[in-house]
Amino acid sequence: MCTDCLPAGRDPWLPDRLLRTERDLLMPLLRRTPEEAYELRTACPGWTARQVLAHCGAALVRIVEGRLEEGVFLPEANARDVAEREDWPLGRILDELERGLTEAGPVIAGHEDGRLDAVALGEWVHAGDVREAFGEPGAYCGEALSLALPLLSVTSRKRETPRLVGRLADHAGEVALGNEIEGRPPAVFDGDAATLIRIYAGRPLVRTRYALTGATEEELLIYR
């Protein structure tokens, strides 16, 4: 993949492709995982795998149904959505998630301002949170990475992070993220793609190995 030449403009259907690809990869894993595993803690403070997935399904179905009142994706609203699903059977949570992964993409594409694109990327990151909790390979990378990286490129510019050139050990080419700042040279990241995702998404960096020059991890966060 030549990530050095990612388009600067928005591809409105990129979130849909990412969500549907992740649906096809993730749902079979979730359907076959024993229910007790859903009580494992994730990288999201205070949330189990079950709660992360409840949040994901709730957020996507809100988009599908147009229930996007002010403050809808703030932590307090997310916590309310999760609490409302505490008594749901696991199967109902998974069904809602699958519906959201299937139906939210076209709605996101229809928002010309692209303000919901980052939600699709966040869903993919949360899938990584669950994979990591389950001890599965491919957390924050895997087959959908080729779709997540260009969406990260666009999101990092919208969230006004500084320009960074990512030299990924496990991918050909370079990733250009963030915005140029006059008088400031681009930061440089050397490491693997999953670690780059962890940095931008604010996930734990324990047991990772990378070099970052010209920026701090805090400056690169896209979810604050």
Whole-angstrom distance, CA of residue 128 vs CA of residue 142: 9
User: Per the structure block, which two tokens stand in for 137?
Assistant: 């390979």
Residue 57 pLDDT level (bands cut at 50, 70, 90): very high
Distances (CA, A) of 30 to 39, 59, 102, 203: 13, 18, 16, 21
How does pLDDT run across 7-34, given as a tens digit for each residue?
A: 457 899 999 999 999 999 999 999 999 9
Q: What percent of the chain has pLDDT over 70?
A: 96
64 and 26 in contact (C-beta within 8 Å)? no
- Torsion, Cα 201 59 149 180, to 10 degrees, reads -60
Q: Measuring CA to CA, which residue among 71, 57, 51, 65 is closest to residue 101? A: 57
Q: How many CB atoms lie within 10 A of CB 182?
A: 4
Looking at residue 19, its pLDDT comes to: 98
For residues 12 and 116, the answer to whether their CB atoms sit within 8 Å is no
Q: Are 131 and 141 in contact (CB under 8 A)?
A: no
Structure pTM? 0.93
Per DSSP, what are the bridge partners of residue 166?
175, 189
Report the relative pairing of strands 164-168 and 187-191 from DSSP bridges: parallel
pLDDT in tens, 130-183: 999 999 999 999 999 999 999 999 999 999 999 999 999 988 778 999 999 999
Say how far apart CA 135 and CA 115 lie, in whole Å.
32
